[in-house]
Structure 1
Amino acid sequence: MEIELRETTDGDLAVFWEQSTDPALLRMAALTREYHYDRSRFDAHWEKVRGDPAVTLRTVLADGVVVGHAAVFGPPEEREVTYVIGRGHWGRGIATRALAELIRLEDTRPLHAGAAADNAGSIRVLEKCGFTVTGRIREFALARGEEVDVVLLTLR
């Protein structure tokens, strides 16, 4: 399978919105924001993200099909990675390959990430890409309506 990262286009947003409304994906991610539940907030969020030169945003393609996105954001001393791969594409190594390519594009170190402690797949992806566990916190998970344990990871 060929994995490619490319600049995000307007047409990609329909796939991102579909992923944003998948209850199983949201539950797994846990740490969602208000824009995951409201289309006008979603559109405003993506307009802001796409217009921010400090954000490295890429659409993830698998064999030419849009399957998600990956990004690096935040100030230089606190750069953080995020990624979403649609549920129908989980378990195929796409997230690992996409994240590995994304961190090759980003020179800043350290890079930070967080994942719900029960999201073993995401933690495994981060560790395969060189991130190490650096801490744990409790955070309110909007998608679950409760606080969850979050694993913090860093790539140095």
Structure 2
Amino acid sequence: MSGANDARPTVRLRRVEDPDVEVFFEHQADPLAVEMAAFPARDKEQVAAHWAKLRSDDTLYVRTIVADGVVAGNIGSWPDHGQQLLGYWIGREFWGRGVATQALTLLLDDVPIRPLHAHVVAHNVGSIRVLEKCGFQRDREGEANLPSAEEGIQELVYVLDSQH
């Protein structure tokens, strides 16, 4: 059965605005999203402090993902221990609609640094598909080093070595 949610929305990236942080809080508090990311939810104060810190650091690339005029999530890239990393978080209502793939494609246009690394837990098949569609290659796997209560979660590292 086909519905309005099946259509591919128009996606754009913009700077993070104050009201976006509330939406980011709701997205990261979704129990299914927490399970998919294997990353624990934070309280409102923690989320607000995290985003205030990110937004004040000009060395980071952080953007709000907007799909058909609605805040759909966030995406960013940052240096970490000599590597350039990327991450994204998409609200569940936008899963499976091409939003993450479009957002990552836009980020790759804005962030020319290569290689670019992405860490993803092995059970997050949707995110793995996004990375592969955008040209990332699986580099290695190991036990995730995440602030999660669960141990033994497998993490994959994907790398984009050249311009897409």
Match of 2:55 in 1: 50
Percent of aligned pairs sharing the same letter? 39
Amino acid of the structure 1 residue aligned with 2:46: R
C-alpha distance in 2 between matches for 1:132 and 1:57: 23
Alignment of 1:110-121 (within 5 A): 110-121=115-126
Task: Find the residue that maps to 1:147 and give its secondary structure.
Answer: coil
Contact 2:55–2:62 (CA<8 Å) still a contact in 1? yes
Q: Does 1:60 align with 2:68?
A: no
Q: Deviations over 1:50-73 (max 9, x none)?
A: 111111011001111001010001
Q: Deviations over 1:87-143 (max 9, x none)?
A: 011000110010010111001111000111111110110011111000001025545
> What's the Cα RMSD here?
1.5
- Verify: 1:26 aligned to 2:34, yes or no: yes
Runs of 4+ more than 6 Å apart: none
The code of the aligned residue for 2:123 comes to D
User: Which of residues 103, 123, 127 is equivalent to 1:98?
Assistant: 103
Q: Is the 8 A contact 2:83 2:117 kept in 1?
A: yes
Looking at CA atoms only, which structure, 1 or 2, has the larger radius of gyration?
A: 2
Residue number in structure 1 paired with 2:140: 135
Give 1:38 shift: 2.1
Question: Partners in 2 of 1:12 and 1:63 — Cα distance?
Answer: 15
User: Pick from 2, 7, 11: which aligns with 2:15?
Assistant: 7
CA contact (8 A) 1:12 1:59 kept: yes
Equivalenced residue count is 153
Residue 144 of structure 1: CA displacement?
Answer: 5.5
Counterpart CA distance in 2 for 1:14 and 1:39 is 8
Once the two structures are TM-superposed, the CA of residue 77 in structure 1 deviates from its matched residue by: 3.6
Q: Where does structure 1 lack aligned partners over 5 or more consecutive residues?
A: none
Q: 1:14 is aligned with what amino acid?
A: E
TM-superposed CA distance for 1:39, in Å, is: 2.0
TM-score by length of 2: 0.88
Give the match's secondary structure for 1:37. coil
Q: 1:38 aligns with which of 18, 38, 43?
A: 43
Q: Which runs of 5+ in 2 are unaligned?
A: 1-8
Asked if the contact 1:59–1:70 (Cα under 8 Å) also holds between the matched residues in 2, the reply is yes
